[in-house]
């Protein structure tokens, strides 16, 4: 499964990774493991976000699932290209 990610930072300076997949948000959520090192925020009509509780947790997730981390410009392009399929 192809998964794209975008790094971000919360107001409290925690690291967050938002993910999208051509297979849809639900498929990506079911594919990625959930660990005690991450807080997962997901729901209908939104892309899943992984908030890092422990240093290195996001990088381990990226490495384990070969997530392609994009620049904001590339993220926006992929989001537009994939259109409504990412929200399923």
What Å distances lie between residue 57 and 50, 68, 70, 88, CA to CA? 9, 16, 18, 26
For position 6, what pLDDT does the model report? 97
15 close to 58: Cβ distance less than 8 angstroms: yes
68-69/4-9 β-pairing = parallel
pLDDT in tens, 4-60: 999 998 887 789 999 999 999 999 999 998 889 999 999 888 999 999 999 999 999
Q: Domain map of the chain by residue range?
A: 4-70
| Alpha-carbon 81 to chain mean position | 17
pTM confidence score: 0.92
| Token couple for 42 | 């997901």
In DSSP terms, 50 is beta-bridged to 17, 40
């Amino acid at each position: 499964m192809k998964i794209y990610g975008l790094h971000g930072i919360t107001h409290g300076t925690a690291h967050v990774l938002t993910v999208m997949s051509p297979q849809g948000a639900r498929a990506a959520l079911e594919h990625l493991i959930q660990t005690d090192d991450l807080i997962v925020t997901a729901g209908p009509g939104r892309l899943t976000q992984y908030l890092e509780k422990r240093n290195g947790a996001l990088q381990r997730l990226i490495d384990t699932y070969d997530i392609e981390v994009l620049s904001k410009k590339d993220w926006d392009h992929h989001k537009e290209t994939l259109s409504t399929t990412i929200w399923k």
